[in-house]
Amino acid sequence: MPLQIQIQTLLFSFFFGICFSACLTFNYKLIYHEKKRYKITSTFLFVIGGILLYFIGIRKVNEGIFHPYSALVIILGFCLEHFLHTFLYKKIAFLKKK
């Protein structure tokens, strides 16, 4: 696989991890709902939708070839967004106290 396609795959996977984590944060109330049936349904649809979006995007980038390093980069993007979200939330909460 050419280097340019590998770089595009890594960038797409990284930004997908960031977007997936942000969507998970926004849909927190739906996924962690009190009713068990509602919780299972919303979690299932959220995960299936995310997987389908990823594979549609990866199909456009490199004809649908998935590599293990793509999964690592998705996790890296997910962790980075989670870290930035908690950091900014604490920073904003600290500024509001003043």
Helix (H, G, I), strand (E, B) or coil at 57: helix
How far CA 56 is from CA of 24, 27, 29, 82, in Å, comes to 19, 22, 27, 24
Structural domain boundaries of the chain? Answer: 3-97
What pLDDT score was predicted for residue 15? 94
Q: Per residue in 42-95, pLDDT tens?
A: 889 989 999 999 999 999 999 888 888 999 999 999 999 989 888 888 877 776
What pLDDT score was predicted for residue 63? 87
Is residue 14 scored above 80 in pLDDT?
Answer: yes
Kindly report the backbone phi and psi dihedral angles of residue 73, in degrees, each rounded to the nearest multiple of 5, phi listed first. -70, -35
Task: Return the higher-pLDDT residue of 62 and 97.
Answer: 62
Instruction: Give the burial string for 15-41 (b: 16+ CB within 10 Å, else e).
Output: ebbbbbbeebeeeeeeeeeeeeeeeee
